Structure formats: structure tokens, C-alpha cells
Amino acid sequence: MIEEFKTSYRQHFEETLINEIIEVGIFKEVNEGHKLIDIGEYLRGMPLLISGAIKILREDSDDGELLLYYLERGDTCSMTMTCCMGNTKSEIRAIAEMDTKIVLVPIQKMELWIAKYKSWRNFVFESYHNRLNELLHTLDSIAFNAMDQRLLDYIKEKRRIVKNDIIKNTHQEIAYDLNSSRVVISRLLKKLERLGHVDLHRNYIKVLNL
């Protein structure tokens, strides 16, 4: 796993920082569906993704839930950073979308390295930049697009993440991610099928052309 980390982050960090991370970081492998953090919890450390993907969700006070974005190899969670530094509770939920390898960096090191390593500083800022933009695009999607377009975007993004034209999701699961209802998603998926964009099956969807 350490070797995998090295190849993933070689382009981001200098040798000495890589070694420091290996020294103090906690390497971890989590299975698909594992909840890494929930809303209201405090954080143990800052996760750097080595492989796999993590989905970041936002939850309503009542029942609603909404997929914000995915984290992938080379990403880290800006929310985590802000939470760590302010020592506040998590505003989001993080769930492994597939089997995923991460390394957890202790909170204290974060700040220290920002002063010490230019590459770390850039990494942290770039990460903020990416997350902010992803959040903006999620917001765009909700504010300006109708559900059919959002569903299309969801399918495209999911395909990109799993790197496969087979999307293993029930309609209910998709409905949760889009904060909609099962019936609505079924309806729209059927429309997409009639248009020749997907093939629908029990428990999975085959993407044809979008």
C-alpha cells in the first residue's frame, strides 16, 4: 500500500514530505459502503485517497440526503481540513463508494507542514479550489437543471467514477443521492431507456450512449 501511495502522490509532494507522511500516517483500507465520517462527528485526521472513491453527502434536518461530489485518488477532503483546524463537527457524511485505500494524516501535522512544505501548501489550496468548484457545480445542477438533466449528469459521473458502463444501483439508491423519490427516478429512467440511452435491469443499469 505504501508503494501505491508513493506512486499516487509522487507528482504532488517532494521526497521528504512523502517520507514524513509514511512515517506518521495511518494506512487504511475500507470496504464499499463503509461510513468514514458522519454529520456531527469529530475528525480523527485528514484522509488522502490512494485508490478507490468516496462519496460526500449532505443531509437535511428531516430526511433528505444529497450527493455533493466524489473524492478520488489524489484528492483530500477540504471539509475535513476546515473542520480539523476549527475543531468543529463534520458538516457532511463520507461513504466509501467502492473498496478504498487511504492514509490518515494527524491534524497537528497539517498546519506544521503548511509552513514547512510549499508542495503541501499548494496541495491544500488546490484541494480547496477543487472542492469549492465541485460544490458550485453541484449547486448549479440543483438550481438550474431539471431532474432529468440531473439524472443524466449523475449517470455520467457515476460511470466515470466506477470506470464501467454497468452502474450497480437500485432506483431507490439513485433517488436518495438526488434527494428525489423512487417513482420519479423510475419514470425518468424509463424515458432515458426509450430514448436509447440506457438499458434497465434489476439492480443495475447499462449505459449505452449519452
Partner DNA sequence: AATAATATGTAACCTATGTTACTGCCTAAG
Partner DNA sequence: CTTAGGCAGTAACATAGGTTACATATTATT
Maximum CA extent, the chain: 57
| C-alpha to C-alpha distance for 56 and 177, rounded to whole angstroms | 10
Minimal distance, residue 158 CB to DNA, in Å: 14
Does the protein bind its own copies through residue 11 (CB under 8 A)?
no
Q: Which does 180 bind (CB under 5 to 8 A by kind): its own copies, DNA, none?
A: DNA
Q: Which does 138 bind (CB under 5 to 8 A by kind): DNA, its own copies, none?
A: its own copies
Binder of DNA out of 7, 88, 133, 203 (CB under 7 A): 203
**The three three-digit cell numbers of residue 128, written as one number:** 480547496
Question: Which candidate, 127, 132, 109, places its Cα nearest to that of 44?
Answer: 109
Q: Which does 10 bind (CB under 5 to 8 A by kind): its own copies, DNA, none?
A: none
Minimal distance, residue 136 CB to its own copies, in Å: 6
Does the protein bind its own copies through residue 125 (CB under 8 A)?
yes
Does the protein bind DNA through residue 188 (CB under 7 A)?
yes
Of 24 and 162, CB closest to DNA: 162
Question: Which candidate, 179, 151, 173, places its Cα nearest to that of 64?
Answer: 179
Binder of DNA out of 61, 163, 202, 209 (CB under 7 A): 202
Minimal distance, residue 40 CB to DNA, in Å: 25
Contact 76, 127 (CB under 8 A): yes
Q: From the CB of residue 207, how many other CB atoms can be counted at a distance below 10 Å?
A: 17
Report how far apart, in Å, the C-alpha atoms of 171 and of each of 35, 62, 67, 167 are.
21, 21, 15, 11
Does the protein bind DNA through residue 119 (CB under 7 A)?
no
Residue 117, sorted as left (phi over 0), alpha (psi -120 to 50) or beta, turns out to be: beta
Residue count, binding to DNA (CB under 7 A): 22
| C-alpha to C-alpha distance for 30 and 20, rounded to whole angstroms | 23
**The three three-digit cell numbers of residue 40, written as one number:** 456531527
Q: Which of residues 77-116 bind its own copies (CB under 8 A)?
A: 78-79, 81-82, 85-86, 91-92, 114-115
Nearest 5 degrees, angle CA 113-CA 118-CA 119? 90
Q: Packing angle between helix 118-144 and helix 107-116, nearest 10 degrees?
A: 110
Instruction: Convert residues 156-175 into a mask of x (bound to DNA by CB under 7 A) and - (unbound).
Output: --------------xxx---
Minimal distance, residue 165 CB to DNA, in Å: 16
Binding site for DNA (CB under 7 A): 146-148, 170-172, 179-184, 186-190, 193, 200-203
